[in-house]
Amino acid sequence: MKATATAILGATSAMVLALSATCGSADVTIEVGYPYSALFDVTFEKIMPAFNAAHPDINVEFRSTYEQYEDGTNTVLREAVAGTLPDVTLQGLNRQAILVDKGIAKSLEPFIATEADFAKDGYHQAMLDLGTFNGAVYGLPFAVSLPVGYYNMDLMGKIGVTEAAQLPKTWDEVVAACGKLKEAGVENPLFWGWNITGNWFVQALMWSQGEPILVGNDFNLDSDAGLVALNTMNDMFDGCDMQNLSVSEAATPFSAGDVAMYFWSTSSVGSVERSKGDFTLMTNEFPGIGQAPKGLPAGGNAVMMTSTSDDAEELAAAWTFIKFITSGEGAAAVAETTGYMPPNKAANDLLADFYAANPNKETAVRQAGLLREWIAYPGNNGLAITQVIYDALEGIVTGEYDDMEELQEELSEEVQDLLPH
């Protein structure tokens, strides 16, 4: 199964490379790395013909895609040591800081300074801030997502839920719906994305309560809100008999029509719509803890320049590519092919009719006012902390941990030891 999927994604990546290599007589070549082949291959298939037509002097070569954001960051860190960095890389919003701190990412300010109309170019300030460090822009947002609910309305209809207003608004209501679905013969009522990259859904439960997962260098899961988050997950996983599926497997049973409620990133709306079986799909706002969420972490990625070239022409080409794919046209292509929100307001006019015809992709846009920081763990152990939390959450899913106060204490101690003092 894994080999087959890899072959398919590899073939799709090859199509993207073929599209991007149409300019054989280009004056300059740049190399680009991006994550999630299954999500973004189709996006770049849409973007590259327009880019090639507008800039026939620039040849873009895409490297093998990063499996996910942690892989993308680790790859770039290794390439920095080996001296083989790409000119441009797309990195998770919560993984930009380490590349800035280590001097791998270039400030985009010198390039922005040459653009007379950049401030008018349409970038949402809240999203632009996600790539700003010490007052300088290092990353331009390419794709911004929020967590949402995906519902198989054919299965939800078995318990009398037939319209958006009846869908669960809190996690207690989700668990109650699971009970009714099981009584109605639905064996797998739910999958909830605990294992999404960067502990994103844990941060969603914290921000839902108005709390960040870190306060300074203190791990805030060691708090009343943290215990509520852990208990919420435990109640959901147990009450819904949730299966322990990998990230690559999670969407499969939902797309096949076997799972009623699937909580995941809005980024997958496009791929789910393309692969789903014969059932009515509806997306809706992310439920909250007792009430609507007070905030949600901004997911997605930003485009960063990591070129080590001294060639002004190559650097200008890298900037031209970055500017194009984050522009109105590029941002619109992201929204149309995935489900991510366009980070550039210039895309809004291009998408008005699109959202009217594709309401499932508008759900995240309705939640845009809830955007909060997707917090990165500082210091050299950031990726290790992500894995420690991941392992603890998997223990809740498998039933290894059932005492959430005890888990909170152990997890908080281990994470705090890994954070800078």
Residue range(s) defining the domain that contains residue 161:
147-297+377-418
171 and 316: one domain?
no
Which pLDDT belongs to residue 2?
29
Which pLDDT belongs to residue 117?
75
SS3 112: helix
Which residue has better confidence, 129 or 103?
103
Given a cut of 70, whether residue 119 has pLDDT beyond it is: no
Q: Which secondary structure element, helix H or strand E, spans residue 315, and what is its range? A: helix 312-325
Given a cut of 80, whether residue 20 has pLDDT beyond it is: no
- Cβ atoms 398, 196 nearer than 8 A: no
Range with top average pLDDT, 137-141, 144-148, 405-409: 405-409
175 and 136: one domain?
no
45 and 134: one domain?
yes
- Cβ atoms 308, 297 nearer than 8 A: no
Confidence of residue 120 (pLDDT cuts 50, 70, 90): low
> Stretch 64-93: mean pLDDT, rounded?
96
Range with top average pLDDT, 16-20, 55-59, 270-274: 55-59
Q: How far is 321 from 51, CA to CA, in rounded Å?
A: 8
Q: How far is 108 from 137, CA to CA, in rounded Å?
A: 6
Q: What proportions of the chain, in percent to the nearest 5, are helix, strand and coil?
A: 55, 15, 30
> Stretch 374-390: mean pLDDT, rounded?
92
Which pLDDT belongs to residue 8?
33
Given a cut of 70, whether residue 21 has pLDDT beyond it is: no
- CATH code for position 222: 3.40.190.10
102: Cβ contacts below 8 Å, ≥ 6 apart: 77, 80
Given a cut of 90, whether residue 265 has pLDDT beyond it is: yes
pLDDT digits (tens, 9 = 90+) for 154-210: 999 999 999 999 999 999 999 999 999 999 999 999 999 999 988 999 999 999 999
Which pLDDT belongs to residue 335?
87
> Stretch 289-307: mean pLDDT, rounded?
95
- CA angle, corner 73, sides to 69 and 77, nearest 5? 170
pLDDT above 70 covers a percentage of the chain that reads: 92
137 and 265: one domain?
no
- Among 119-128, 322-331, 394-403, which stretch is predicted with the lowest mean pLDDT? 119-128
Q: Beta partners for 214?
A: 219
> What is the side-by-side order of every strand in the sheet holding 139-145?
58-62, 28-33, 88-92, 299-305, 139-145
Which pLDDT belongs to residue 127?
72
The average confidence (pLDDT) of the chain is 90
162 and 277: one domain?
yes
Place of tokens 């300019």: 23
205 and 333: one domain?
no
Which pLDDT belongs to residue 350?
77
140 and 23: one domain?
yes
Which pLDDT belongs to residue 34?
97
Which pLDDT belongs to residue 26?
64
289 and 325: one domain?
no
Q: How many domains does the chain have?
A: 2
Question: pTM of the entire structure?
Answer: 0.81
> Stretch 29-48: mean pLDDT, rounded?
95
288 and 154: one domain?
yes
333 and 227: one domain?
no
Given a cut of 60, whether residue 138 has pLDDT beyond it is: yes
Given a cut of 60, whether residue 113 has pLDDT beyond it is: yes
84 and 198: one domain?
no
- Cβ atoms 198, 374 nearer than 8 A: yes
- Cβ atoms 141, 261 nearer than 8 A: no
Which pLDDT belongs to residue 1?
30
Q: What is the largest CA-CA distance in the chain?
A: 66
133 and 34: one domain?
yes
Which pLDDT belongs to residue 402?
93
63: left (phi over 0), alpha (psi -120 to 50) or beta: beta
Q: How far is 372 from 217, CA to CA, in rounded Å?
A: 18
- Among 17-21, 84-88, 113-117, 127-131, which stretch is predicted with the lowest mean pLDDT? 17-21
199: left (phi over 0), alpha (psi -120 to 50) or beta: left
Which pLDDT belongs to residue 121?
63
